Amino acid sequence: MRIIIVGCGKVGSTITEQLVKEGHDVAVIDRDPSVIQDITNNFDVMGVVGNGASYSIQKEAGIEDAHLLIAVTGSDEQNLLCCLFAKKAGNCNTIARVRNPLYNHEIRFIQEELGLSMTINPEYAAATEIARILRFPSAIKIDTFSKGRVELIKFLVPENSPIDNCSLIDISHKIKTDVLVCAVERRDEVVIPNGSFVIKAGDTISIVASPTKARDFIKEIGVRAHQVGNAMIVGGGTMAYYLAEQLLSMGIHVKIIERDEERCEQLSELLPKAMIIHGDATNQNILLEEGIQNSEAFVSLTGIDEGNIFLSLFAQSCSKAKVITKINRISFGDIINDFQLGSLIYPKFITSEYITRYVRAMQNSLGSNVETLYHLIENKVEALEFHIHEGAPVVDIALEDLPIRDNTLIACINHAGTIIRPNGKTKISVGDTVIIITTHKGLGDIKDILQK
């Protein structure tokens, strides 16, 4: 597909990289010539310098032949204007990044009135992911499918766990909860396991199940499964606001530490139930005075990645808090993982997942579409949810008779609201949604899970 991306910051460049990898014809627009030069040097894309809300600039980028325009500049208003012009000039699909909380409660109206295909709010999406984790603090990451009916939960197997040195078959006999272990990380190795695979303490495993069954399984293996009672957030930006709003609605006590006095006053008005502290959290005495030792959760959301890393390391050194670290820019993934910074949140990757899912579904509008997409384990594994339409080549055939590709697992089937953990005799029906775990990249239709 021909896709135009307006705005080449952290999010725009991440989306560009992903869509180029998937074989799309991409053009990028940005006001800064050095940014355009940098991105065209790194990726095989067409670059245009200028204002993406200008018809002539969009025309130069090929709007008349484009299938999709994605506007992710730093201005919500400019993003909306870019999409409005694109609809008029090229009648293509449009996606706008809209971050301001002022627009958040009106987003459906904005989307419908401007004819947007989709809006994306990276800060809100990241805050929602953090809130999910704090409901279940032993998890490193939680992804949801089927409108929350199914969860994919990633966590570390602790020392002396009852599943240490157990094969998956033995675990299913020992612990009767109906969950599926769908991926295992062991040092640099990633495995989609079979029944004979043996789990070891220190492994990071991903399980798929309904929320209730997942929590029952976690409790059975001795991992903490109840939500935190309080959270300390460092940094009072937009993401902190969205997160605090969600945590307060969950009954979690929230304390925000922010160095800007004017922003503290704004947050006090917006979040009257939260405790807002004016102070510099890089001064460890401030954190100690505010009781970091007794915090059940610590979330570092400043705009500086290095600051977030050091704050999280300090939190781990002096408390037993669940630590969550926001990373915006730094891309040294292997080094960051060695720091053991708890759960890492990358807003730019969350945005990229949303948009990649939309693009894959748009490509296969006549097939069984991608409903949900998550990149797991540093993009080595994908978890996808497909909605099964009439004529799909997997319908009414026992799974054991399907020629499914290696390293591809049918993890779960949602059949009319009933969550099924499939076996060899299970059959997929029209109208089901099916969750697939695979190391293969770029799946856009359920037929892609079959050997060719």
User: What is the signed CA dihedral for 55, 56, 61, 64, rounded to 10 degrees?
Assistant: 60
Burial of residue 198 (number of CB atoms within 10 Å: 0-12, 13-18, 19+): middle
pTM: 0.84
Class of domain 2-120: alpha beta
Q: Which fold has domain 230-345?
A: Rossmann fold (3.40.50)
The two structure tokens encoding residue 42? 């790194």
Radius of gyration of the chain (CA): 23
Residues 6+ apart with CB under 8 A from 42: 17
Q: Within the chain, how many helices (H) and strands (E) appear?
A: 15, 24
Residue ranges of the domains in the chain? 2-120, 230-345, 369-449
Domain spanning 369-449: CATH superfamily: Regulator of K+ conductance, C-terminal domain (3.30.70.1450)
- Sheet strand arrangement including 204-209: 139-145, 150-156, 204-209, 180-186, 189-191
Listing DSSP states for 373-397 in one string gives: EEEETTTTEEEEEEE--TT-TTBTS
397 backbone dihedrals φ, ψ, rounded to 5°: -125, 130
CA distance 169 to 178: 12
For residue 348, what pLDDT is reported? 87
Tell me if domain 2-120 and domain 230-345 are identical in fold. yes
- Nearest CA-CA partner of 160 in 215, 201, 220, 217: 201
pLDDT by residue for the chain (452 residues), tens only, comes to 999 999 999 899 999 999 999 899 999 999 999 999 999 999 999 999 999 999 999 999 999 999 999 999 999 999 999 999 998 888 899 999 999 988 888 888 988 888 899 999 999 999 999 999 998 888 888 888 887 889 999 988 888 888 999 999 998 888 877 889 999 998 878 889 988 999 999 899 999 998 888 888 888 887 777 889 999 999 999 999 999 999 999 999 999 999 999 999 999 999 999 999 999 999 999 999 999 999 999 999 999 999 999 999 999 999 999 999 999 876 666 567 667 778 899 898 888 888 988 888 777 655 567 777 887 766 688 899 999 999 899 999 999 999 999 999 999 999 988 889 898 999 999 999 999 999 998 888 899 999 98
For residue 311, what pLDDT is reported? 95
Task: Output the CA–CA distances (angstroms, integers) from residue 75 to 54, 72, 202, 270, 332, in the order listed.
Answer: 15, 8, 44, 22, 28
Listing DSSP states for 159-183 in one string gives: TT-TTTTEEHHHHHHHS-S--EEEE
CA distance 253 to 255: 7
For residue 368, what pLDDT is reported? 61
